[in-house]
Amino acid sequence: MVVGKLRPATVTVDLAAIRHNVKEEIKRLDGHSELFAVVKADGYGHGAVPVARACRAAGATGFCVALLDEALELRAAHFTEPILVLGITPANEAAIAAANDVSLTFGTLEWLQAAAENLAAHANTPLKVHIALDTGMGRIGFREEADLRAACDYLTAHQDTFITEGIFTHFATADEKDTTYFKQQAKRFNELVAVLPRRPKYVHVSNSATSLWHAACNGNMVRFGVAIYGLNPSGRGIPELPYPLQPALSLTSELTFVKMLHKGDAVSYGATYHAAGDEWIGTVPLGYADGWLRRLQGFHVLVNGQPCEIVGRICMDQFMIRLPEQLPVGTTVTLVGEDHGATVSMQDVADYSHTIHYELCCILTQRLPRRYINE
């Protein structure tokens, strides 16, 4: 996708905020635990490589991604730290991972057997693997002791082919006040881990929410994800945090057109908005093709610190706002961030659009250029 460098619309990422959030979490670790920074999905839309550099500078000792391709991006950027692919990679790509010292996740004996064939044919080095346990997420991993025991026996018999580096699970409700299901999963994790003939280097269960609110479960590695970016994993569900998270992302643009509408004049597709009287309307040059959702009609942005309602349907590349007065073309418009003491947070946007801030960060498209400050 073409990056809109010549259009006044920019995602700004404050790397000082990234470093702050990582350093604050590392302070809370017990000295025997490591923090792996989760930079999948292009660093949750913030930019994987710049974010990874900031996390490493703040003390992260490894990285987690979702795809082997994402791991290879980090290797190409000269990261030498451990990298774990959290999703299931096709077994016929095992040799590529081994050649690049990337750790892969598996959850079946069949995957191990297929990966061993691929490694025998194409690799001269063993593959580092992490065992996924499905303790209640219902996504990937071993569920039964017998299946896990058979895989462990296979690993023991193929120590020249695989290095068992870790074992982990993922909690479904760590970001909720009700801990009933969380405790069930923790119990199941301990039952399954007991099957192992020996514990691997990394035993890890903690995403951001688990580490923030259930640190006793951390094991010896934390997969620190959304909190890196200064976002509360629970949304507004658990406002109490052990330290202030600093949001790293802001989204700004400018007015590209300003006009006076009169009573009854309509705005945008479907003519869903009509001016109640004489109104100054400004046009902002981004839309749902940039990840600014169509359903945000009726929400607001900031102009000179004042909330300005989005009027009419958001278009693919533009949307309109009602201004308090005539303002010049080129006036800054803040979609996410701080402006003259007022703030629109990603959580505010998520609340209005009935989704989560994770999704909103990830869908900001590459058409929006990323600018990095406080490097």
**Residues labelled as active-site residues:** 40, 269
Phi, psi for 287 (deg, rounded to 5): -155, -150
Of all residues in the chain, what percent are helix, strand and coil, respectively (each to 5)? 35, 25, 40
DSSP state of 237: S
Q: Is 56 annotated as a binding residue?
A: no
Instruction: Give me the residues paired with residue 267 across strands.
Output: 273
| Cα four-point dihedral sign 353, 357, 362, 366 | positive
- Angle CA(12)–CA(18)–CA(23) in degrees, nearest 5? 165
Q: What is the Cα Rg of the chain in Å?
A: 24
Q: Is 149 annotated as a binding residue?
A: no
Residue corresponding to tokens 């026996």: 153
Residue corresponding to tokens 């995602």: 11
Closest CA to 254 of 312, 164, 321: 321
Residue corresponding to tokens 């979490």: 25
CB 91 within 8 A of CB 118: yes
Both tokens of 181, joined, read 């299901």
SS3 of 326-337: the string is CCCCCCEEEEEE
- Binding residue ranges for substrate: 139, 316
